[in-house]
Structure 1
Amino acid sequence: MVLDLNGKRALVLGASRGLCMAIAKPLAAEGATVFAAARSRDKIADWAEGMAVECDLSDLAQVDALADQLLSDGGADIIVNNGGGPPPGTAQAAERGQWLAHFEAMAANLFHLNTRLLPEMKVRGWGRIISITSSGVEQPIPNLALSNGILSAVVGWSKTLANEVAGDGITVNVVMPGRIHTQRVDELDAAAAKRTDSDVAEVAARSRATIPAGRYGKPEEFADVVTFLASARAGYVTGSRIRIDGGAIKGI
């Protein structure tokens, strides 16, 4: 299947590693001009081929500067939202300051950036907004209270926005990765091993045993789904939550 993203401009946030680094590459391979954004430009400059942009999502001034930069040159046709992953911890242990700081970086500033870029999409009558959340928004993950709570807000925003802009040719969807084998998953396994005084390999094995597919997903498998959602062929898919988890979520 040829997805043909020639001439499209794609902003991929949090592209220094993991899922979004994996997403940026097939978007570019399909012909899109990809602006790969991360806190440190140096971490992506070696593979982003001149399209690396620096943006710390916790800094509203940098978010506005990124929007200004894109709008001065035509805006963005595709936005892949990713606010990163907060540290693990329980709901009882999470302090107010943590909630506010991580909500700003993972949700409020993302909403602001998308709001600024939306008018150009509406003028063109075409756009794709895809937000990476977590399986925790559907089946909360123990010891990831900040992630479960804040990313659930992203889901609510996405569904609301999808209904508002569907008539403008803009789709808005959420993708929910399960255990995709990235550095973030390795870090969570390591944290779980430390918390339970276990071996990391044992923790990973127990985690894989809960997944019907029997393994962690590959970043490329996740990226291919996102790339399809970014294409014209997915024009009738909007307001959806899409699981990419090897069957791990137990509910229908």
Structure 2
Amino acid sequence: MQGKVALVTAASQGLGRAIAGRLAEEGMHVALCSRSAERVREAAEEVARRGADRDVRVEAWEADVAVPEQVLALSRQVEQAFGRLDVLVCNAGGPPPGDFFDVEEADWEKAFQQNLMSVVRLVRACTPLMERSGGGTIVTITSTSIKVPLPRLILSNVMRAGVYALVKSLVPELAARNIRIHTVAPGRIDTGRVRSLDQDLARHTGRSVEEVRESFYRQIPLGRYGDPEEFAQVVAFLVSDAARYLTGQAVFVDGGMMRAL
């Protein structure tokens, strides 16, 4: 992985930031983007510190992956800055919680653009550069809801399942270009996003946040929420040469919570 280039979207916090930092520690040059210029610059400084011993280069740009023009501009910026791309991590903030009759048509459209079409556009924009670089790996960040829908997450359930269908559909086309593709599905990873979902579920059910978390602990065989760094290590493995005979996989990082076959 030393000297290769990765683009991680929505990397100013949470899983994206942890992934970017882990890849830098492995010796990869890293490009980050976020809708917040201030937050992504701060994240880039941390990522650079984590990769300082490996002499990595880190670049950060403000970009909203839900906006087609900004996705195209992002791919061009990566090419101009690094001249190659070996790893693409498609990440985006999750849509708001709610049941079917809670969400409006505008919510569906926003989630469609942010969580499904962003992946479509990132793959389309970045594949030519990856192909010219000799190939590489794409990782999409989804959710355990690609297997079993989660309560009060109708928008996420539908869009994440669509991303997984896209991943499986793209395997043969991308393999012909020497590009592997996977999805990594987080369970209850202790991020700001999951903490906000716990708060929403607590309000909706009349329980405390502590009671909500305890109920999840009982469903997780390992008995705890995961750490973002643990999740990032799995992504780092999938984009490494150690996983060069893997493609089209859905990897659940959930402490054993997903019991479905």
Alignment partners' CA distance in 2, 1:158 and 1:192: 30
Query: Paired residue for 1:56?
Result: 64
Which residue pairs with 2:173 in the alignment?
A: 164
List, as ranges, runs of 4+ consecutive aligned residues in structure 1 with deviation greater than 6 Å.
Answer: none
Q: Say if 2:108 is the partner of 1:109.
A: no
C-alpha RMSD of the superposition: 1.3
Residues 62-77 of structure 1 mapped to structure 2, 5 A cutoff: 62-73=70-81, 74-77=83-86
TM-score relative to the length of structure 1: 0.94
Matched with 2:29 is: 33
When structure 1 is superposed on structure 2, of 122-131 and 22-31 the one drifting more is: 122-131
The one of 148, 152, 161 aligned to 1:152: 161
Is the 1:213–1:246 Cα contact (8 Å) retained in structure 2?
yes
In 1, the alpha carbon distance for the partners of 2:176 and 2:16 equals: 28
CA shift, 1:41, in A, is 2.0
State which of 237, 249, 252 in structure 1 corresponds to 2:258: 249
Secondary structure in structure 2 of the residue aligned to 1:129: strand
Offset at residue 250 of structure 1 (A) = 1.7
Greater CA drift, 117-126 or 143-152: 117-126
Percent of aligned pairs with the same amino acid? 41
Q: What secondary structure sits across from 1:139 in the alignment? A: coil
In terms of fraction of residues, the more helix-rich structure is 2
Distance 2:104 2:27 in 1: 44
**Higher mean C-alpha deviation, range 181-190 or range 53-62:** 53-62
- Consecutive unaligned residues of structure 2, counting only runs of 5 or more, are 46-57
Q: Which residue of the other structure, out of 8, 11, 16, is the alignment partner of 2:4?
A: 8
1:121-159 Cα deviation digits (max 9, x unpaired): 223332110000000110100110000001111111111
Q: Using the TM superposition, give the Cα deviation of residue 86 of structure 1 relative to its aligned residue in structure 2, in angstroms.
A: 0.5
How far apart are 1:67 and its partner, in Å? 1.6
CA separation in 1, counterparts of 2:152 and 2:40? 30
Deviations 1:89-114 (A, max 9, x none): 11233222211111111111321122
Q: Separation in 1 of the partners of 2:100 and 2:124? A: 30
Residues 184-203 of structure 1: pairs in structure 2 closer than 5 A: 184-203=193-212
Deviation at 1:228, TM superposition (A): 0.7
AA of the residue aligned to 2:192:
Q
- Select which of 166, 177, 189 maps to 2:186: 177
What's the CA shift string for 1:160-217, capped at 9, x where partnerless?
1122111322110000110011111110111111111211111111111111111101
The CA distance in 2 between the partners of 1:181 and 1:133, in whole Å, is 15
Unaligned runs of 5+ in 1: none
TM-score by length of 2: 0.91
2:112 is aligned with what amino acid?
F
Give the secondary structure class of the aligned counterpart of 1:72. Answer: helix
What letter is aligned with 1:151?
A: R
Distance of 1:251 and 1:113 partners within structure 2: 30
| Contact in 2 for aligned 1:44/1:52 (Cα 8 Å) | yes
Which segment is superposed worse, 67-76 or 134-143? 67-76
Partner of 1:89: 98
Which residue is 2:51 aligned to? none
Separation in 1, partners of 2:133, 2:111: 33
CA distance in 1, matches of 2:146, 2:171: 18
